[in-house]
Structure 1
Amino acid sequence: MKRTHLPLNALRVFDAAARHLSFTRAADELAVTPAAVGQQIRALEDVLGVVLFRRTPKGLELTDEASAGLDPLRAGFLQIEDAVQAMQAGQSSQVFTIACPPDLFAVWLAPRLAAFRANNPDVRFVLAGAEADFTEANLDLAMRWAEGPGELEGVAVGEAARVTVGDGPWIAWPGDPEPAGAGEPAPLANVADAGQALAAARAGMGRARVPALLAGGQGATAEPCRRGYWLVAPAPQWRQKKVRALVSFLTAD
């Protein structure tokens, strides 16, 4: 069903003018000029095809047509306020839905979420897969190994650096598929993520280049790289008070 376009701003002006029976006092409430109130009322009368106010020696009076629509209009504004409050309720929710690579969650994010919850005992966490979609998974926040936030809002976590752990043949993972360089012998092992590469290197299977944040600074060499870990979210989630509080806590150190 196609909805009729509603001149909501003009209707809000009409409500104020009807309560005060004065364009001047309505203008004071709305922080506009009396002339602007008059323009909005005339425009609304043109749209509706009715006269809303009469000027009398005693001042403004509502017409019968205006009086007939005033109560339903005010009830509608109350419903709009309820709808806005319902949409904003997520900002005060104590549930965080977060996507994070499982290797980083284990060594970095989980201890910090535990510390955050110690200070905020009512919060709960729902963990989604690393590549979960913000819309489909209803995410509040995600941690990504990337060159930047892209089209999302975000902040870098730690430095964009990697360390080399272990000795011997290279171990490859999707974030570093050719550690030895193009044209060199194939790596000894190809694993699913940086966490598996780190575990394999520490077990003596070879050496791997992994994010410095994940390795905890333990490695023979360290070098800057284009990618790093980022906390990201679309702008609406990023602006939520609860998300800002969590991001501030996670990036405090």
Structure 2
Amino acid sequence: MKRTHLPLNGLRVLDAAARHLSFTRAADELAVTPAAVGQQIRALEDLLGVVLFRRTSKGLELTDEAISGLDSIREGFLRFEEGVQAMQAGQSSHVYTIACPRDFFSAWLSPRLAAFRAGNPQMRFALVGGDADVDFTEANLDLAVRWAEGPGDLEGVALGAPLMVTVTAPDAPADGPWIGWPGDPAPGGALTGGSDVGFSVGDAGTAISAARAGLGRAHVPYQLAQPAIETGRIIALGDPVPSRRGYWLVAPPPQWRQKKVKALVVALAE
């Protein structure tokens, strides 16, 4: 018999009925009706081609055929339970594996993970690169932070409002050359067509560092620039403006439902 065709529901009913030697008590355990138990047993008997129970003056009795297979069936259900427990073990793990852009980790995520760990000192974190194409299964990820327009096919929550701001050094001219980065490679947009990009870097964090060094002005996520703006290391050229993209905390549904992941999502979303 193929494994995919194993009558698992019928075998589960057989186990309960065999332990109680009563369809009624088996029904109570399984939260079904006695009639449903009887139907499952009859269907299993038809499938196997054997009689499993006999009614006698003393009550319900197992046949020799049923007795011969019960130990193996019960051992099989025990192994199923062990397998389920093994798969669920990750939910109680104290290690989070998170994919995150390194500039976002430095400016925004790291202090919040530190605050979370202060209340959960047993927790450990492993950070991997935040490439949008990183595969959750291959990288064994719990969560990922992505610069995107939304969660896509994943479960997700926005990490703050999607805002952009133009920044430069305090002593730099407000019309200095633009600093481009992959999220905004031609920040001059319609005004300059991007022709005034004098410096190109690999990420928004490096763009902020370049602006702080006086290399020009950069149009970057407000979340990354806010700490440097508040300390006066850079200045904002105007107010933050809405952006289609923002930072999203995402995961596939199985990871998203894990207890440990839910706890961290709540902490970061606050």
With 215-224 and 205-214 compared, the bigger mean Cα shift is at: 215-224
Q: TM-score, normalised by structure 2?
A: 0.90
Quote how far apart the aligned CAs of 1:107 are: 1.3
Do residues 230 (structure 1) and 222 (structure 2) align?
A: no
Residue in 1 that maps onto 2:37:
37
One-letter code aligned to 1:80 = F
One-letter code aligned to 1:36 = A
- Give yes or no for contact 2:186–2:195 (8 Å, CA) kept in 1: no
Residue in 1 that maps onto 2:189:
181
Do residues 163 (structure 1) and 165 (structure 2) align?
A: yes
Residue in 2 that maps onto 1:13:
13
Any stretches of 5+ residues in structure 1 without a counterpart?
A: none
Residue in 2 that maps onto 1:145:
147
Q: TM-score, normalised by structure 1?
A: 0.96
Quote how far apart the aligned CAs of 1:220 are: 2.2
CA distance in 1 between counterparts of 2:4 and 2:150 reads 43
Residue in 2 that maps onto 1:172:
180
| Aligned length, in residue pairs | 252
CA distance in 2 between counterparts of 1:114 and 1:4 reads 47
One-letter code aligned to 1:179 = P
Deviations 1:99-154 (A, max 9, x none): 11111111111111111111111111111011132111100011111000000000
Residue in 2 that maps onto 1:192:
202
Quote how far apart the aligned CAs of 1:98 are: 0.5
- Give yes or no for contact 2:147–2:246 (8 Å, CA) kept in 1: yes
One-letter code aligned to 2:220 = V
Residue in 1 that maps onto 2:226:
216
What RMSD, in angstroms, separates the aligned Cα atoms of the two structures?
A: 1.5
CA distance in 2 between counterparts of 1:180 and 1:117 reads 41
Residue in 2 that maps onto 1:79:
79
CA distance in 2 between counterparts of 1:190 and 1:184 reads 11
CA distance in 2 between counterparts of 1:15 and 1:113 reads 48
With 72-81 and 178-187 compared, the bigger mean Cα shift is at: 178-187
Quote how far apart the aligned CAs of 1:201 are: 1.1
Any stretches of 5+ residues in structure 2 without a counterpart?
A: 169-173, 230-235
Quote how far apart the aligned CAs of 1:3 are: 3.4
Residue in 2 that maps onto 1:247:
265
Residue in 2 that maps onto 1:135:
137
Residue 204 (structure 1) aligned to one of 203, 206, 214: 214
Identity of aligned residues (%): 72
